[in-house]
Amino acid sequence: MTKHLLLLFFALSFLASSALAQKKPLSAKARKAKITAAAAARNKAEATRRAEAARIAANAAVSEGPDATELLRIDEVLTEATLRSDAETITHLLADEYLAVNSKGLITSKKDWLESIANDEAKCDINKGFDFVVRVYGNSGMVVHNTSFRGQLDGSATTGEYRITRYFIKRNGKWLVAASNTTYVVPVRLTALAQAGKKAKREKKKTKNSYASERRK
């Protein structure tokens, strides 16, 4: 048994010494190459981190600056064009794939808008925007505002306050309106009346329940 253990010990010692003998120290050239490779890996990782940070910053929402100013300008020009029924200006400001959801929930296209102007179905004499909010996300953006409107839409006369959201895309360095959404805003007066009516209804129900409770007693 002791003999076998000694043989095993000598065998392991031989293998260990052989491995140590084979592991030669790196030459100066090899060490330099290893250091250079490690530095290159660190630089690549840092460049990737910076590129990702720049991408995130570019896509972060901003509400001021040249692009935000340009979106507000285009929105104003488009509003003025609707007052004049200026089909040419509207054509240049809208992307060809432009889509809109009107206050009735109907989807219309750029072609539909231009045809409604040609058929004298879309015109207005009041279209005044206020409470503007603008956001820019890299090559896309949006403008939200309320507008007091009086005119004709889809051949029907309409008057009221609407909230309009316009979506923009930047294509070949030029901002275009790609989509829009129009929502009818219930006047504050009507909202107050509705709330007062609900309150009166609750009070009436409360009084009725109280009276019924007293009778049961």
For residue 62, list its beta bridge partners: 136
Residue 94: name the closest of 72, 80, 114 by CA.
114
DSSP single-letter state for residue 63:
S
The structure's pTM equals 0.61
The whole-angstrom separation of Cα 63 and Cα 31 is: 52
Quick check: helix, strand or coil at residue 183? strand
Q: Which are the contacts of 52, defined by CB distance < 8 A and separation ≥ 6? A: none
Domains and CATH numbers, the chain: 66-190 (3.10.450.50)
Per-residue pLDDT of 162-208, as tens digits, reads 999 999 999 999 999 999 999 988 765 544 545 666 666 677 666 66
- Is residue 117 within 8 A of residue 87, CB to CB? The reply is yes
pLDDT value, residue 214: 63
Per-residue pLDDT of 44-56, as tens digits, reads 877 877 776 666 5
